[in-house]
Amino acid sequence: MTTVERIHVTENERQIFDLLLRAVGNFSPKTKLRVAGGWVRDKLLGQDSSDIDIAISNMFPRDFLVKLNDYLCSQGEDEVQGHVIESKPAQGKQKPPLETVKMSLYNHSIDLVHLRSDVYAGDSRIPVKVEFASPEEDAFRRDLTINSLFYNIHTGLVEDLTGRGIDDLKAGRIATPLHARDTFLEDPLRVLRAIRFGARFGFTLDEQLKEAASSEEVRVAIAGKISRERIGNEIDLMISGNRPITAVNLLSDLKLLGLVFALPASSEPAPSENCVSLCRAYMEAMWNLIQTPGLVNLSGEQIRHAMYAALLLPFRKMVYKEKKRKSAPVVNYILKVSMKRKSSDAETVRLLIYTVPRGDSYR
């Protein structure tokens, strides 16, 4: 579905699009270019976006970069420096790979990708097969309807190929293009992304999505298919975001807090019955302090540490036995093992929980 929704394109963005259109018209007139995902979503919400992903209809990103540079050279212009990021499919060396080219045009960071469909199997969230696809197929394979929108730079029009993206955006609803259960079982990281975007925009989670996200089979998939580091990265983005309380409340409502912030089997004493309520209450109190004008002036990193300290404060008295049978704070385990955060993060949060900070470092 092509819509007449208007998008404000800045002068810098227009320069980028015009150059790409001239280039592709020169070396591959049948190739179509679309801006995908976040840029379209944010523009429709009236927000600025530096996240430009160009989806190419019929060409690998690295091949496109080569032809783009050939065109630039023919026009007496400097070549574009690009970095190829390649991720092999889950099984063997099957082609084509998951490929992205990161480059810069007119001081703007751009990712080049190709329209694709993915085939999943087994216990991996990495596709076992990647194929070139139509714009419709690419839209439906994406995580959320609001992230499946395209801006066709040839026509200047928004393409809502799932038929739901713009309606969900206007309604403030987080939903998946396909059935939520199937979407999450293919790649359970999408559960955490749905929560993060829901919190970020203050949107409501679709009922089907909530039912799938809180199901036992999806919980098993989250534990089995996603690395702890990837889980930690998503939680970091939530905690560092504009609505960390909302994100934690959603995790709690979907019964995912215990899965994300997993405790060691040997921990003691057992968490109190009202542990989750305390976590939420302490976080809310900390967030209110941070948001009070003129009270504190913290950097983004200090806010992240402070919010983790508040969240994990109910675990202050809990310990567990490390491999050498030495007692250690459960807080360390949650941050270093369950979330794979840096040792410096764990140490800073531990100090905030167990000691009173001195000096001006957190004032």
Domains and CATH numbers, the chain: 2-171 (3.30.460.10), 260-354 (no CATH)
Residues 6+ apart with CB under 8 A from 203: 146, 172, 173, 174, 197
Question: Which tens digits make up the pLDDT trace of 145-174?
Answer: 999 999 999 999 999 999 999 999 999 999
**Stretch 184-202: mean pLDDT:** 97
Report in angstroms the alpha-carbon separations of 18 from 91, 159, 299.
Answer: 39, 19, 39
**Residue 39 pLDDT grade (very low, low, confident, very high; cuts 50, 70, 90):** very high
> How far is the C-alpha of 274 from the C-alpha of 355, rounded, in Å?
24
**Residue 90 pLDDT grade (very low, low, confident, very high; cuts 50, 70, 90):** low
**Residue 205 pLDDT grade (very low, low, confident, very high; cuts 50, 70, 90):** very high
Whether the predicted pLDDT of 203 surpasses 70 = yes
Provide the pLDDT for residue 362.
41
**Stretch 41-47: mean pLDDT:** 95
Provide the pLDDT for residue 313.
95
Whether the predicted pLDDT of 103 surpasses 60 = yes
**Stretch 111-128: mean pLDDT:** 80
Residues 6+ apart with CB under 8 A from 170: none
Question: Which tens digits make up the pLDDT trace of 223-239?
Answer: 999 999 999 999 999 99
- Whether the CB-CB separation of 239 and 247 falls below 8 Å is answered with yes
